[in-house]
């Protein structure tokens, strides 16, 4: 799918449909919608008068031009109330519009930049949101399905900007938005891929292929290297699997004065191990590498958008399987940092592999560390499928994460790591144990991770509640969400411009 920018008049576009818009309650359309209305001899105003188009959020009105314009169809997108209009609404609107056009069998379309005219929002931000929303909204994971013969794809969308002085800003926005939307879809592709088609080896190969495409340094380490490093926790999770584990490192050198580290949980399938999960819903555990997918895809976008900051990414990748050699409840494992963990429940494997992921990242001496993981079911009990959970050791870094998430239109909220919770992960036989019971499950998981971070500012993001959706709504489609790719990319820019 191609998104282009053109300077000119939307009404003169020879495409399958042109898209204009209307705020709720407007009776006499102005701006570009007004111009198209005029070219149609008042057809839009007449439909409004007859009650066929009220500008309600999420509604579309299709008007046939019957030869009055080069395009056969005009789509009037409802924007809702003008006072509530935001860039996030523009992004979701673009996603809904793109699907509406595809449903109506349009291969080519042109749109005005929603929000940038009467809406009064920043044209570049709106253009970016339209590109992101269009790409995210059209996404579907169908590579393992026989193509339907009469399926139509929206192949081309042009943003048509009348005002020459704004065309440059719109172009910038579209370029950035396309990179971000593609990165989200790349993360979705990785996370949606079933466990048999995306083993740790496959994940490493996909990361490597992307890295050579965008010019990132990539290293993939094998089991003997993990043994040399003393990554006993990662190896203990891999022990039950026939698939070799991989440790994936990507490096971006953007210059500037600071260095950001990303660590992503790369469990390509989580059966739970010997503490095996119930059968119902276990298929979703093919997405237990969503944290890894997000950091890998974010690195790709960072390489293309070039913030002035260095970024290092580490992904420990393995399956979590039961097997003759699998780790057993009660086993004690020694992590890379030398600290020991008693494995009470082999299904709490994410924190085990991340302890070595964070241990490795510590050696790179970054100025800030973000880890991203589908770590605990408990985070959905706390925050539902609306927000990611965050915990960390630095209010200043958390504030930057908040700012980045707000810019991305993603949600993240902090939980406390009070000292009192620490007793829950005390072990009789090791330095700590890997589960702290049902209460405050997301917090005790984060507190184990904290043991593997020195005083480097660090924020842990638990995305287990928002990794997969079974609904289509705005930029959300069925399957992997691609969250928090955009937050991570924005964060690289926030930290480049405003280090702690």
Binding to ligand BES by CB under 6 A, coded x per residue (else -) over 432-471, reads ---x-----x----------------------x--x----
Name which of ligand BES, Mn ion, Zn ion, none residue 410 binds, using a CB cut-off of 5 to 8 Å depending on partner kind. Answer: none
* Burial letters 436-452, b for 16+ CB under 10 A, else e: beeebbbbbbbbbbbbb
Considering 351, 400, 433, 486, which one is annotated as catalytic? 351
Binding to ligand BES by CB under 6 A, coded x per residue (else -) over 369-388, reads -----x-xxx----------
Minimum CB separation of residue 267 from Mn ion in Å reads: 7
Q: Which residues 214-273 are close enough to bind ligand BES by CB under 6 A?
A: 270
- Give the integer Cα–Cα distance in Å for 82 and 200: 48
Residue 342 as a binder of ligand BES (CB under 6 A): the answer is: no
Minimum CB separation of residue 267 from Zn ion in Å reads: 5
Give whichever of 267 and 354 is closer to Zn ion, judged by the CB atom. 267
Instruction: Report CA-CA distances (Å) from 103 to 100, 124, 494.
Output: 5, 28, 38
Give whichever of 65 and 355 is closer to ligand BES, judged by the CB atom. 355
Which tokens go with 310?
Answer: 């260095």
Which tokens go with 81?
Answer: 């109330």
Residue 349 as a binder of ligand BES (CB under 6 A): the answer is: yes
Total residues at the site for ligand BES (CB under 6 A)?
Answer: 15
Residue 347 as a binder of Mn ion (CB under 5 A): the answer is: yes
Which tokens go with 74?
Answer: 């005009």
- Give the integer Cα–Cα distance in Å for 221 and 218: 10
Which tokens go with 129?
Answer: 């949101």
Minimum CB separation of residue 378 from ligand BES in Å reads: 6
Residue 270 as a binder of Zn ion (CB under 5 A): the answer is: yes
Instruction: Report CA-CA distances (Å) from 345 to 112, 227, 274, 287, 320.
Output: 54, 23, 8, 20, 12
> Can you say how many angstroms the Cα of residue 466 is from the centroid of all Cα atoms in its chain?
10
Q: How many CA atoms lie within 13 A of 270 on its CB side?
A: 29
Minimum CB separation of residue 373 from Mn ion in Å reads: 10
Rg from Cα positions in the chain: 24
Name which of Zn ion, ligand BES, Mn ion, none residue 435 binds, using a CB cut-off of 5 to 8 Å depending on partner kind. Answer: ligand BES
* Eight-state DSSP code of residue 473: B
From 60-68, 138-146, 214-222, 341-349, span contacting ligand BES (CB under 6 A): 341-349
Name which of Zn ion, ligand BES, Mn ion, none residue 169 binds, using a CB cut-off of 5 to 8 Å depending on partner kind. Answer: none
Tokens 């964060």 appear where?
Answer: 491
Q: Which residues 378-437 are close enough to bind ligand BES by CB under 6 A?
A: 378, 435
Give whichever of 80 and 436 is closer to ligand BES, judged by the CB atom. 436
Report the residue from 78, 195, 200, 350 that binds Zn ion according to the rule CB under 5 A.
350
* Eight-state DSSP code of residue 285: G
Residue 371 as a binder of Zn ion (CB under 5 A): the answer is: no
- Give the integer Cα–Cα distance in Å for 475 and 93: 8
Give whichever of 314 and 354 is closer to ligand BES, judged by the CB atom. 354
From 283-291, 403-411, 447-455, 473-481, span contacting Zn ion (CB under 5 A): 283-291
Q: Among candidates 388, 395, 416, which has minimal Cα distance to 488?
A: 388
Give whichever of 176 and 265 is closer to ligand BES, judged by the CB atom. 265
Considering 277, 328, 403, 478, which one is annotated as catalytic? 277
Residue 270 as a binder of Mn ion (CB under 5 A): the answer is: yes
Contact 459, 394 (CB under 8 A): yes
* Eight-state DSSP code of residue 213: H
Name which of Zn ion, Mn ion, ligand BES, none residue 378 binds, using a CB cut-off of 5 to 8 Å depending on partner kind. Answer: ligand BES
Contact 40, 67 (CB under 8 A): no
**Catalytic residue list contains 438:** no
Q: Which residues 250-269 are close enough to bind Zn ion by CB under 5 A?
A: 267
- Give the integer Cα–Cα distance in Å for 201 and 322: 19
- Give the integer Cα–Cα distance in Å for 367 and 358: 13
Give whichever of 275 and 337 is closer to ligand BES, judged by the CB atom. 275
Residue nearest to ligand BES (CB): 377
**Catalytic residue list contains 146:** no
Residues 6+ apart with CB under 8 A from 242: 321, 323
What string of DSSP letters covers 337-367? TS-EEE-S-TT--HHHHHHHHHHHHHHT--S
Residue 479 as a binder of ligand BES (CB under 6 A): the answer is: no
Contact 277, 226 (CB under 8 A): no
Interface contacts to Mn ion, rule CB under 5 A: 270, 347, 349
Interface contacts to ligand BES, rule CB under 6 A: 270, 288, 345, 347-350, 374, 376-378, 435, 441, 464, 467
What residues are annotated to the active site?
277, 351
Interface contacts to Zn ion, rule CB under 5 A: 267, 270, 288, 350
């Amino acid at each position: 799918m191609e998104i282009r920018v053109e300077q000119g008049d939307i009404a003169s576009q020879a495409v399958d449909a042109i898209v204009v818009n209307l705020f709720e309650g407007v009776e006499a359309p102005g701006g570009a919608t007004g111009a198209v209305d005029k070219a149609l001899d008042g057809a839009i105003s007449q439909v409004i008068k007859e009650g066929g188009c009220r500008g309600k959020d999420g509604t579309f009105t299709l008007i046939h031009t019957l030869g009055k314009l080069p395009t056969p169809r005009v789509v009037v997108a409802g924007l809702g109330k003008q006072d509530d209009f935001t860039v996030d609404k523009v992004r979701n609107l673009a996603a809904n519009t793109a699907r509406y056009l595809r449903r109506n069998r349009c291969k080519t379309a042109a749109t005005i930049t929603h929000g940038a005219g009467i809406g009064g929002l920043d044209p570049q931000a709106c253009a970016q949101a339209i590109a992101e929303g269009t790409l995210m909204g059209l996404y579907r994971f169908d590579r393992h399905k026989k193509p339907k013969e009469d399926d139509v794809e929206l192949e081309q969308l042009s943003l048509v900007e009348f005002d020459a002085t704004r065309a440059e800003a719109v172009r910038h926005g579209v370029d950035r938005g396309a990179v971000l939307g593609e990165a989200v879809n790349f993360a979705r592709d990785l996370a949606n891929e079933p466990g048999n088609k995306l083993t740790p080896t496959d994940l490493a190969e996909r990361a490597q292929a992307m890295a050579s495409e965008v010019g990132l340094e990539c290293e993939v380490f094998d089991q003997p290297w993990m043994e040399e490093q003393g990554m006993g926790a990662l190896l203990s999770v891999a022990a039950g699997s026939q698939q070799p584990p991989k440790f994936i490192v990507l490096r971006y050198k953007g210059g500037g004065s600071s260095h950001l580290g990303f660590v992503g949980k790369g469990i390509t399938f989580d059966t739970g191990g010997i503490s095996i999960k119930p059968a119902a819903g276990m298929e979703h555990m093919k997405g237990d590498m969503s944290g890894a997918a997000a950091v890998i895809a974010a690195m790709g976008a960072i390489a293309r958008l070039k913030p002035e900051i260095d970024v290092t990414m580490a992904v420990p990748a393995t399956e979590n399987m039961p097997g003759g050699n699998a780790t057993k409840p009660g086993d004690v494992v020694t992590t890379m940092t030398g600290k020991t963990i008693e494995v009470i429940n082999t299904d709490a494997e994410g924190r085990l592999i991340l302890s070595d992921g964070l241990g490795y990242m510590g050696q790179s001496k970054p100025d800030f560390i973000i880890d991203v993981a589908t770590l605990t079911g408990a985070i959905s009990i706390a925050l539902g499928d609306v927000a990611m959970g965050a915990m960390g050791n630095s209010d200043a870094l958390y504030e930057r994460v908040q700012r980045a998430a707000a810019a991305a239109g993603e949600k993240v909220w902090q939980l406390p790591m009070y000292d009192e919770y620490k007793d829950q992960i005390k072990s009789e036989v090791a330095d700590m144990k890997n589960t702290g019971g049902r209460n405050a499950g997301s917090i005790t998981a984060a507190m184990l991770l904290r043991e593997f971070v020195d005083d480097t500012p660090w924020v842990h993001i638990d995305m287990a509640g928002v990794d997969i959706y079974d609904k289509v709504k705005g930029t959300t489609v069925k399957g992997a969400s691609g969250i928090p790719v955009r937050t991570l990319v924005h964060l690289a820019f926030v930290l480049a411009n405003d280090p702690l």
